[in-house]
Amino acid sequence: MCGRYTLQQTTQDLLARFGVQLAIFEVKPRYNIAPSQEVAVVRADGQRRLEALKWGLVPFWAKDLKKLKPMINARMETLVEKPTFRAALSRRRCLIPADGFFEWKKESGTKVPLHIRMRDKSLFAFAGLFDQWKSPEGEVLETCAIITVPAGGWITEVHDRMPAILKAEDEEHWLDTNIKEPARILSMLGPYPADQMEAIVVSPAVNSPKKDSPECVQPVA
């Protein structure tokens, strides 16, 4: 799964990297992004827009939010069959910018936090889905989820799953909702080459979702 990640960049960094034409959300460095928080996403509807959505997908057809648990992750294997994700996979795909994510590796009975990132520390995009829910009173709630895939390479020693990181050449196609064939969409998903990534043991400060400071990504021996 993916339950915590980082985006240590600014709005200008994202504009340049993802070809954003309209920014309606100011991005500031984040070191411990957690579910239920607002997160930066890139959507395309004639032009690429940088916006903020709440992390934890609520499907448009939901009736009672009190009885619904928002989904922070969507498993690649069930995207087509699950009603929560099926429509979004066809019509509501987005990029979720990041520069690393956290996993916890069990060692000697304790969980050690790891910051997994690109070896060159570059920006990348999770494959995301979004949806828009409206209450009978007209309240609008826009939410998103990160797709997960089976882990590959050395990452399997940490966790059996990982977030779906899109190859740069697939990002434009992922945003193109004219592409609706499930097989073609799913072909863009898979474990990112682990040899291009690294894992750094970081401070246990990251264990608390209330912490969001450079200390969370501070390497430790």
Residues serving a catalytic function are: 2, 103
The string of pLDDT tens digits covering residues 67-81 is: 888 999 999 999 999
Q: What is the predicted pLDDT for the residue at 168?
A: 96
Q: What is the predicted pLDDT for the residue at 112?
A: 96
Q: What is the predicted pLDDT for the residue at 46?
A: 85
Domains of the chain in sequence order: 5-100+121-193 (3.90.1680.10)
Q: What's the rounded mean pLDDT across residues 105-130?
A: 95
Given a cut of 90, whether residue 117 has pLDDT beyond it is yes
Q: What is the predicted pLDDT for the residue at 87?
A: 92
Given a cut of 80, whether residue 1 has pLDDT beyond it is no
The string of pLDDT tens digits covering residues 182-203 is: 999 999 999 999 999 999 999 9
Q: What's the rounded mean pLDDT across residues 30-55?
A: 96
Given a cut of 90, whether residue 138 has pLDDT beyond it is no
Which segment of 58-72, 117-131, 158-172, 176-190 scores lowest on mean pLDDT?
Answer: 58-72
SS3 of the chain: the string is: CCCCEEECCCHHHHHHHHCCCEECCCCCCEEEECCCCEEEEEEECCCEEEEEEEECECCCCCCCHHHCCCECEEEHHHCCCCHHHHHHHHHCEEEEEECEEEEEEEECCEEEEEEEEECCCCCEEEEEEEEEEECCCCCEEEEEEEEEEECCHHHHHCCCEEECECCHHHHHHHHCCCCCCHHHHHCCCCCCCHHHEEEEEECHHHHCCCCCCHHHHCECC
